[in-house]
Structure 1
Amino acid sequence: MPYKEKDIQKSYYSIGEVAEMFAVNTSMIRFYEKEFEVLQPKKNAKGNRLFRPEDISNLKIIFNLIKDKGFTLQGAKDYMKKNKREVDEQQKVVEALEKIKAFMIDLKEQL
């Protein structure tokens, strides 16, 4: 049976890495951190923000609501508070579809 590489996830990501993931400035990540209570990155002794995978998942939800669905900041806050379970389920579906897409692209390249 061939060896299958596992996706290695880090425990913590710097604000620069997170900003690069979303193709935005670090100032926007800091702004969303102040605006949304659900974003609670850990800070080290120097005060550098360290984002956990849960924080990144919440950022994906926030960006989806604001950028893709056109919510205002207040509308996104209210939606996340009222529909937390539904938002979590939708995010899981999106992540599963992203994995399938990556697999299909990889499969296509191998052919």
Structure 2
Amino acid sequence: MTRTKKALGRVAAIGAALLALTVTTGTAQASWHSATVGGHGANLRTCAGSGCGYTGNLSAWTRVRVVCQTLGERVTGYYGASALWDYVVWEGTGREGFAADANINTGYSSWIPGIDVCR
């Protein structure tokens, strides 16, 4: 095999790897899960804790999209106690922030399968 063919083979392999990375990254960034705020509503925060900046309130039964989840302060809410927090986008308004998972009905008692971990 000539040097040119070897070089072209490496370029093709790198191109295929970059394409696979692009497709994988695109899928991960597009993940979200539809959910509903519980009967007491929920506060939006700048991070995963009640001491973080307050950015607004989600009314009870509001539809939201959970974009990612993370662990933070343990709180008790409408659906029990948990240290899990959801980063949500309020459908229709575009407002976003962290809300305690204990106040969000995701349909799961813990982590939502396939949803990213917030970084």
TM bucket by the smaller chain? under 0.3
Structure with greater proportional helix content: 1
Structure with greater proportional strand content: 2
Provide TM-score, normalisation by structure 1. 0.24
